[in-house]
Amino acid sequence: MIQFLKESTFAVNEVFNKSWELLKKHYFSVAGLYFLLFITSGLSNYLATTISDFNVVLSGFMAFFFMVLYFGLNLTLFKYILHLIDGDDQKKLMQCIPSTRELLYFFGAMLSIMVLSIALLMILGVVSFPFLYLFENGDNRLELMSSFTFFVVFVAAILTFLLIIRVAFYPFFIIDKHAGALKSLRFSFALTKGNVFRLLLILAVFAFFQILQAYFNFLEYYIIFIILNLVSSFLVVPLACIVISVAYREMMSDYHGGEDPKILSNIF
């Protein structure tokens, strides 16, 4: 176990080191694409709120338009970073824009994840339902049922979180391997098999920084919070985009899941 922790920590350090070197070389291009995402997100929220007071249909259309634009830019950013990792610095940005088919695959996979998450909650609820009869005649029936319901929702949230980690790399298979919606999810399951702990370590690094911001905001140390927020916007988030992409490339170098992996054989 200790050896596994050492190997995992070393692998995560290597990912961060490669990502940091890449960010230093291509900071302005990567950060520029990220800020396009940031502006798109802010503008969409503003227009959706403003237009909704005049025309609900137009507001819905604009929300849909900006959603497609936002995720399209997101895929463009990841595809661009993959080219940088591969040493293809001469790749034009226009060549990194996802095709209509890739966008359809992306939204199809996203919809599938939503369906899987809801199905997971429903299955857990059905399996747990018979246990509610244990509280039928108890003195603290309502309190016990409330606690049990909270427990079921908590377990469902953990399982959903693990599911999202396992399928998180589906966009890369769509833009890098041109896989379809469902196949990209199966690829992500196979790729992350045995790598969940390493991914949790990577996630913990960025989560710690977000918790640090929230902590200083809670203490009303606004100057420190603003400084951390600026560091997050200009450095941490662009670095996170590269780290995810580098982690994908690193895991793909050791991938042995085949060209048509099955989910059931790659769960554990």
Instruction: Residue 247: name the closest of 182, 202, 188, 185 by CA.
Output: 202
81 occurs within a structural domain: no
Residue 6 has pLDDT above 60, yes or no: no
Measured CA to CA, the distance from residue 120 to residue 158 in angstroms comes to: 11
Residue 46 has pLDDT above 80, yes or no: no
Torsion of CA 32, 210, 15, 40, to 10 degrees: -20
Domain extent for 144? 99-192
Token reading at 253: 């170098």
41 occurs within a structural domain: no
Residue 137 has pLDDT above 60, yes or no: no
- Three-state SS at 53: coil
* 55 band by pLDDT with thresholds 50, 70 and 90: low
In the predicted model, what is the mean pLDDT of residues 240-253? Answer: 93
Q: List C-alpha distances in Å: 55 to 44, 51, 52, 88, 151.
A: 15, 6, 5, 46, 42
177 occurs within a structural domain: yes
Token reading at 119: 């199905």
Query: Do 37 and 74 form a contact (C-beta atoms < 8 A)?
Result: yes
* 141 band by pLDDT with thresholds 50, 70 and 90: low
In the predicted model, what is the mean pLDDT of residues 31-52? Answer: 78
* 98 band by pLDDT with thresholds 50, 70 and 90: very high
Residue 152 has pLDDT above 90, yes or no: no
127 occurs within a structural domain: yes
57 occurs within a structural domain: no
Residue 3 has pLDDT above 50, yes or no: no
- pLDDT number for residue 165: 93
141 occurs within a structural domain: yes
- pLDDT number for residue 34: 85
Measured CA to CA, the distance from residue 204 to residue 142 in angstroms comes to: 37
- pLDDT number for residue 142: 66
In the predicted model, what is the mean pLDDT of residues 205-209? Answer: 90
In the predicted model, what is the mean pLDDT of residues 195-208? Answer: 90
Query: Do 84 and 90 form a contact (C-beta atoms < 8 A)?
Result: no
pLDDT (tens digit per residue) in 248-266: 999 998 887 778 888 767 7
152 occurs within a structural domain: yes
Query: Do 81 and 25 form a contact (C-beta atoms < 8 A)?
Result: no
In the predicted model, what is the mean pLDDT of residues 21-46? Answer: 85
pLDDT (tens digit per residue) in 162-198: 999 999 999 999 999 999 999 999 999 999 988 888 8
Greatest mean pLDDT among 101-105, 150-154, 214-218 lies in 101-105
- Three-state SS at 267: coil
Token reading at 59: 């507001």
In the predicted model, what is the mean pLDDT of residues 28-52? Answer: 79
- pLDDT number for residue 134: 62
Cα angle vertex 158, ends 260, 45, to 5°?
90
What total number of domains does the chain contain? 1
- pLDDT number for residue 264: 65
174 occurs within a structural domain: yes
Residue 131 has pLDDT above 90, yes or no: no
